[in-house]
């Protein structure tokens, strides 16, 4: 047998082996059913501190993230999972976009729910007040730190929540929807610091916008989230 014939034979054998391995592995893999569908939730955004144009534009933006998230979910359901790598690929790109749009959807829902209460009131005997006072020294110190986080964010979010590793309530900011996201963190208060949230009504006066949002925190919603956070704190002790 000539050298050329041997090389061709080796190539054919490798092809047969690869095909057999791929067929065996694929047949043993469980069928992935990753697709999910998220539906937009109705939010009233009751406030005279934000214009109706801003509210409507914000709602459309929120629905756009959900539309993208559902499309990504559908595409992930059939994405190739065998020949993947960390440099480039359909699966990698879809997972990156999934986090971006998933975070955008959830953060908007948290924000819409915990803001826009014109009758906002927090009492000193509420669990929210007592926990924030405990972990920041005073409730006023928590407010100052939350504002510092919000004004330090770029296009992103200011978030207060329970950190499972630190075992206390802390403030963070997230740039975009997926940069500087802390692991082991359960949000209880969220404020949108993207330009679309304030520019139409406040121009570049981010501080006035932020104060208006904090004046209308829905402490009933925040209190319910904090109760869940307390359950998480007990579970991870």
Q: What is the pLDDT along the chain (237 residues), one digit of tens a residue?
A: 444 555 564 555 455 444 543 444 344 445 555 678 999 999 999 999 999 999 999 999 999 999 999 999 999 999 999 999 999 999 999 999 999 999 999 999 999 999 999 999 999 999 999 999 999 999 999 999 999 999 999 999 999 999 999 999 999 999 999 999 999 999 999 999 999 999 999 999 999 999 999 999 999 999 999 999 999 999 998
Rounded to whole angstroms, the Cα distance separating 193 from 151 reads: 8
DSSP codes, 154-211: SSEEEEEEEETTTTEEEEEEEETTTBSPPSSEEEEEEEE-SHHHHHHHHTT-HHHHHH
Rounded to whole angstroms, the Cα distance separating 40 from 70 reads: 11
- The domain ranges of the chain are 127-235
What are the backbone angles phi and psi of residue 167, rounded to the nearest 5°? 60, 45
Radius of gyration of the chain (CA): 24
176 vs 23, 38, 235, CA distance in Å? 41, 21, 31
Residue 117's Cβ-side half-sphere holds a number of Cα atoms within 13 Å equal to: 15
Instruction: Write out the CATH class of domain 127-235.
Output: alpha beta
Residue 163, beta-bridge partner list: 168, 185
pLDDT in tens, 121-180: 999 999 999 999 999 999 999 999 999 999 999 999 999 999 999 999 999 999 999 999
């Amino acid at each position: 047998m000539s050298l050329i014939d041997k090389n061709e034979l080796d190539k054919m054998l490798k092809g047969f082996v690869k095909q057999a391995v791929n067929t065996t592995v694929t047949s043993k893999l469980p069928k992935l059913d990753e697709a999910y569908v998220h539906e937009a939730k109705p939010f009233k955004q009751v406030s005279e501190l934000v214009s109706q144009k801003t509210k409507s534009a914000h709602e459309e933006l929120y629905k756009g993230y959900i539309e993208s998230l559902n499309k990504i979910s559908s595409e992930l359901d059939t994405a190739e999972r065998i020949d993947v790598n960390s440099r480039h690929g359909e699966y990698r790109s879809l997972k990156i976009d999934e986090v971006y749009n998933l975070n955008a959807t959830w953060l908007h829902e948290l924000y819409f729910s915990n803001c826009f209460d014109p009758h906002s009131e927090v009492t000193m005997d509420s669990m929210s007040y007592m926990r924030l006072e405990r972990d920041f020294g005073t409730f006023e110190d928590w407010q100052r730190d939350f504002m510092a986080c919000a004004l330090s964010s770029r296009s992103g979010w200011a978030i207060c929540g329970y950190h499972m590793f630190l075992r206390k309530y802390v403030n963070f900011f997230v740039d975009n929807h997926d940069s500087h996201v802390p692991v082991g963190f359960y949000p209880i208060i969220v404020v949108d610091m993207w330009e679309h949230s304030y520019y139409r009504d406040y121009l570049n006066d981010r501080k006035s916008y932020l104060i208006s949002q904090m004046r209308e925190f829905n402490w009933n919603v925040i209190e319910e989230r904090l109760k869940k956070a307390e359950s998480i704190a007990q579970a991870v002790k």
